[in-house]
């Protein structure tokens, strides 16, 4: 897992078609819940960490509430850890 955290002014990394991505924060217990489920189910995914004190502008396009985790695959976006974990 990358330790890099995206912050304001940084561009959103490109998403490969069909690739599952989770927007997370390394110390967030709600993100940990979702990551544990992905690992337990052996679901291949990419992690993009967000600096929650200095959120990038594009983060609000994914979730207007500005929260993590966010699960994205192509144009499908799911927010809230309990829903992501399902």
The total number of structural domains in the chain stands at: 1
CB-CB contact of 67 with 50 (8 Å) = no
pLDDT number for residue 86:
83
Give dist(CA 62, CA 41) in Å, integer: 24
- At 34, give phi and psi (nearest 5°): -65, -40
pLDDT for residue 25 is more than 80: yes
Write the CATH number for 51. 3.40.30.10
User: What's the whole-model pTM score?
Assistant: 0.92
Known catalytic residue: 31? Answer: no
Per-residue pLDDT tens digits for 45-86: 999 999 999 999 999 999 999 999 999 999 999 999 999 888
The answer to whether position 3 is within a domain reads no
The answer to whether position 7 is within a domain reads no
Range of the domain at 31: 19-85
| Confidence band for 39, pLDDT divided at 50, 70 and 90 | very high
The answer to whether position 10 is within a domain reads no
The answer to whether position 13 is within a domain reads no
Structure tokens, 66 = 């500005």
Give dist(CA 59, CA 41) in Å, integer: 26
- Of 12, 28, 31, 79, the catalytic one is 28
């Amino acid at each position: 897992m990358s330790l890099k955290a995206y912050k304001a002014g940084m561009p959103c990394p490109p998403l490969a078609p069909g690739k599952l991505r989770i927007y997370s924060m390394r110390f967030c217990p709600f993100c940990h819940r979702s990551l544990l489920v992905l690992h337990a189910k052996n679901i291949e995914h990419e992690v993009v960490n967000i600096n929650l004190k200095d959120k990038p502008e594009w983060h609000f396009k994914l979730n207007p509430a500005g929260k993590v985790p966010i699960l994205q695959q192509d144009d499908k976006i799911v927010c809230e850890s309990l829903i992501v974990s399902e």
